[in-house]
């Protein structure tokens, strides 16, 4: 694995840890943060796979854009599109007033994160 890929994965794993820790808070959990860090972990794994595959990418939080770059090499990843689109909302929209994640959102974001990262790990 390339060094820069390892750095992407290391940063992603920190987001995984943050999402998991916050999801265990017993009083006043920050569900927005759980969802945000789940999205960030997936984003960084996607960027790690792009890096490892020597595919250039721009700065974006849109997971579908990253997916589209990967599809020529990994067409089987197309099954992730709906899940990635759902997670993408937590990169920006939920960080501002007007949107707020609830516990069900956070639990689902963690479930998606686990499933997606498992698949991406096999490819890296």
**Residue 104: per-residue pLDDT:** 96
* Domain segments of the chain as ranges: 3-123
**Residue 9: per-residue pLDDT:** 98
Closest of 52, 44, 107 to residue 74, by C-alpha: 52
**Residue 93: per-residue pLDDT:** 77
Residues sharing a CB contact under 8 Å with residue 111, sequence separation 6 or more, in sequence order: none
Q: What is the pTM of this model?
A: 0.95
Cβ neighbours around 41 below 10 Å, total: 29
Could you state, in chain order, the average pLDDT of each consecutive group of 10 residues for the chain (124 residues)? 96 98 94 97 98 96 97 98 96 81 96 98 96
User: Domain 3-123 belongs to what topology?
Assistant: 1.20.120
């Amino acid at each position: 694995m390339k060094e820069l890929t390892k750095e992407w994965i290391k940063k992603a794993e920190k987001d995984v840890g943050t999402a998991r820790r916050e999801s265990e808070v017993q009083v006043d959990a920050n569900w927005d943060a759980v969802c945000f860090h789940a999205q960030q972990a997936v984003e960084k794994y996607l960027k790690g796979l792009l890096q490892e595959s020597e595919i250039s990418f721009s700065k974006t939080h849109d997971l579908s854009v990253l997916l589209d770059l990967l599809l020529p090499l990994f067409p089987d990843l197309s099954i992730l599109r709906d899940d990635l689109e759902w997670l993408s909302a937590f990169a920006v929209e939920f960080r501002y007033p007007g949107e707020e994640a609830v516990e069900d959102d956070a639990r689902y974001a963690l479930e998606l994160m686990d499933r997606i990262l498992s698949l991406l790990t096999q490819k890296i």
